[in-house]
Structure 1
Amino acid sequence: MHRFFFYNGLNLCCCFLIIPLMRQLIFVLLLLVFCQKSNAQTDELDLIQKNLSKQQDSLKYIDMLNRISLLIYEKDIDSTFIYAKLARERAEHLDYSKGKADALNNLGIFFYLKGNLNLALKYFDDATKRYRQIEDTPNIVQSYMNLAMVYNAQDNRERSFAWFNSAFKLGKTLRQDSIMSLVIYNYVVFFPDHFNTQTKRTLVQKARAISTRYQDERMLITLDQLTANEMIRDGRQKEGLLLLDQAIDKAVKAKLFYVSNDIIISMGNHLLTIDQKKAIIYFKRALAMAEENKSLIISQYLSEKIFNYYDAAGDSKNALIYSRKLLKLTMERNDINRTSGIDYLDYALKESEVNTLKTTTTYQAILLFLALSILILGGIAILVIRKNNNKLKGLNNDIIKQNDYLNGTLETLQMSQADNKKLMKIVAHDLRNPISAMTSAAKLMLTDVATEEDEKLLSLIVTAGKNSLQMLNDLLQEQFKVIYTNKEPVQINDILQHCIAILNDKAKAKNVNIINLAEPIVLPVNKEKIWRVLSNIITNAIKFSSPNSTIEIRTAEKSKTFLIYIVDEGIGIPEESSGQIFDMFTIAKRKGTAGEDSFGLGLAICKQIIEAHGGGISFKNNPVRGATFIIELPKT
């Protein structure tokens, strides 16, 4: 009997387990009014009831109802329900959040004391949610302890510990930390095995310091009882019993009825193993106090305890006295339970039905709104369709006419395209002959020049002629591009060696060294077109390489493709040009490192050739300098 908190298996409505009932009453008293001056509780209740009808402020009136509900349960537990119900109804009407939360909390107390743990859990949980919404941290801590208390009564130790732990952690953040003394007390009493002796003493000292700071006489007495019980358990029986006696004197002097009774009963239980007669004296003292305060529950418990003692001792006279007392108290309890006009279970069930009905009504309202919205939108859509129907018919006719016109225009363009291709072919052919003749004549003249200036001019003519022929070839390639189906097995390394041999003189002129590290492989390609691609890429590498640099050709294999890497140490590709270098007539063209011209066609044609082979071409700038072009060709 060393603690006065909740025990498992409680059911007030159908059994006489008086110990748990008594301890519940004491726990609730400590839990919810522990910071109230103990000798002023009854006076406060009388004062609030007297002034209730005079209160004009609606919110303060609700607070007074909730306070009465909290204080009156010692006198009449059913009144706790009545006042909490009334406070809740008024708070709901005025949408007063704190009033609703306090009323839910009081309903939780009522159902707990009535032994309905599931309903207690429901109302305590609802109260916790409300307190969280209004950020009432002290009451959130209290609600966490309420939930822990109910879970402990349901023998769910894991959840009970979790809620006590949450209360402990949140309570430490409070600036006004008066509630922490109760939190610590609960923690230690409910879960003593979670703390070693030193930790337990430290926590009790902390709780005592908080209670002293806030002059909380109720908690100080309760902590004395806890300390005394610990002493007795540790074998310091004499010191513990002395401290319990002192705690009884303090509690009686402070008019703490339930606390006094619990300590007196605790003292009697300790004495049962030492001095039974003295223990019965304490039980009788507690019984007299319970009868004076009209507490049937505690009176019933103590009468049964004293009766059992006399019956076991063979004292039939005293056993008869207390058996009659016990029978009378039991009949009084039954009469109260039978005549109580409060159908609290019906209230809870009706509340659940109302909540369900509200939810159903909300869903029905949403569905009705959606249905009406769809009907309205449908009506508007029909009106708009009807209004614009004639316009749509007219537009449809216009579209048909425009389509016929566009088809005619397309045929004309196709004919014009064919004519343009034919003309381009003729012009290119006619231009190639004079340009070739001019270039050949200039080459012949270079074999026998009189002056250095003439040699320079003739060289320029030869270069311009070659560039012009190259540009004509590129134009024809773009204009008459085809899909290259005439593929044959070709040794790629042979093509690379041929390209290097042709371009070696141009590379040596810039002192550029070409290194071929390609692995031999035979691929199905159009030999001429792939030679054109490789030649173009290597030419560009030479064109944009710095003197005394290296061009490296490497290869790699994937499961289905073959990759050719052409790596130079030149000037790289500017970031702003990276997305344009494969475009036809790109504006990204620029001169080489020795002033070589670019026409902006080569890479675009390379891309077309590679894609016609089912492959791809890309590039990346090297980390230090230069760029790498990657050609990927399928193996089959």
Structure 2
Amino acid sequence: MSFRYTKKYKIFTWPIAFACSLVFFWGCKQKEKDQLKLSAQYQAIFKQTLIIHDKYNPDSAQKYIDAAFREIKSPTLNERLNRLGFHYAVMFTTKKDFLKARIYADSILNLINKNGGQQKYPGFYANCRLSLGDAAFELKDYNTAYQNFFIGYQIGKNQLDRRVTSEFLYRMGMVTFKQGHYALAVKYFKESLGLIKSTNDTFVTFYRNQELMDNIGIAFFRLNKPDSAMAYYNHALHYITSNSYRFPEKADLTPVAQAVIYGNQADVYIKKKDYNSAIPLLKKSIAINSIKHHDNNDALVNMVKLADVYGRNNRTDSMKIELDTIKHKLSAISNGDVKANWYRLMSEYYSLNNKHAEAFDYLKKYNSLKDSLDENNRLLREANVTEQLTNFDKERQITLLKTNYRIQRTYLLLAVMFIIMSLVIAFLIYRNWQRSKHDFKVVKMLNHEINEQKASLQHTLDKLNDSSREKDRILHTVAHDLRNPLGGISALSNMMVNDTNCNDEQKEFIGIIKESADNSLELINELFEAADLVLDDTRKQLVDINTLVNNSIELLKFKAAEKNQHIVLSHNNTPLYLLINREKIWRVISNLIINAIKFSPAGTNIFVSIDESPVNATIAVKDNGIGIPDHMQTKVFNMFTEAKRPGTMGEKSFGLGLSISKQIVEAHNGKIWFENNPQGGTTFLISIDKPVA
């Protein structure tokens, strides 16, 4: 069975100019398109770039556009975006270098964020998330792909049109299908189809509609519901027959789509062991897609199915003819899975003819190639784990630097205290000497005693420093030895949960392991946060609190989405600058929003607002959660408080977050408090003074 995520790149011959324009204009509002009009100078450069790409090669085109771009004295935002978009389109569409394509998409996203971001350019921002998700999907990094598609979907359903939302739902369905969540894939495909089914005015929409119907059928087939699958296959064929007449200029593409569906229908009959019905469908599909410029790869897959059916019916002569044809096709089309299955079928053919030596030889080749394909997938998964472990190591190094800074600051304070103490002693000695020479002996005696005390104090201080250094060494050793394994356990268990080879009981045990690892990591992080509360005034800067809160919400939307919650932000569009430590206040805001998510039921809203008065700014986080009982209200801001409870879905709570937040806010000369809402839930508020003009 062939799944058709990449069919749009294979069936349609899209020019590179059109692929490049998709990075910017797909789903954009007219106002945004007007802002991205190109100058005459750049239009000439881009036109020549396309000519070079079509006549020579993409490398020459990329070098030309970069060299010509450097000659533009003051390129506009739209010209900078268009150049990066061209590189992305070449890497994704022409070279199929999806890793470099993702790098260019990241550059586009950074450029948009520096010039107003999602608020100013929602369409461009959504397009960029689409490009990032497509590149990640092709790299089989499905988690990253889903995150980008989900962000784009949230933007699309709130700010853009139905087609944009449908496109993201379609891609979310593709990701969940690849991850084996077929029921969820059906849900996304149906929602996508429902949004665009009535807007069938273009060929692209027509083709996407029939593809969604076919994909729903494939997902039902994977759910072991062959009758439902066949119903959608028939529905898709009827839809193609009823609408293809409207697009005579694309008449050559209609049989390609029908041929793919014929092959999928054959899968249903093969599952039911109705081989007589499957064979003519496979032959019809192969005949259509074996034509030049049709989907030859799909034809090759169906040839494998047909050879397999012949083998099951002991039609060895027909099986050998089909296998010889596949061998010839493989010389022109590279497909590792098809080649592996060809080795397997050749082994079965020789086994049916009692030629066991030849059968064993082909079986070894099949196992070797299959192991190689599986190893490539395993290395890809390990690459993701290695990247996560690298990030954990960087976090550990940052924590170590912060700890060294705190130690150095402590030594400096002790030195200052020692100097002050010495000055006080000298002053006392001088004053007593002035009063009376008779008292000199007494002063001398006292000075001797003080020196002894100082020596004893120094000895004690040395022991304390040694103990402190030993404690720090042990702490960092434990952090290093625990964080990386726990992070690895969490990442590996996350992948194992998505492994379709695990049964429900194994997935439940793996889920318990992942939850325990995540809880341990969260406790270690909160202990480090509790130790890192020294606020350096030199790190304070003027920060737009609206942007800071908005960024924090963007990062936490995924956590809220896990409980089907929505975070609603309300504030004036005018920037509101406060003199704060960005990292510390961001930590406070994130703590309050995470608590609201944790203690709110699934499916509810969390409201975040920013208000200002002439003298201060107030940030409020309101939830409809479980509230705070009266007997706990005086303890919620205590360190290691007893007023800690599990979240509405059993989330762990360690009782450190609010204490840390209170100390940070008070270090900014601010105030933090909470109010129980009459209708249920709690509102936490932060008040920070505005800087003096």
Does the TM-score normalized on the shorter chain lie above 0.5? no
More relative contact order in 1 or in 2 (CA 8 Å, sep 6+)? Answer: 1
Measured against the shorter chain, the TM-score band is: 0.3 to 0.5
TM-score (norm 1): 0.44
TM-score (norm 2): 0.41
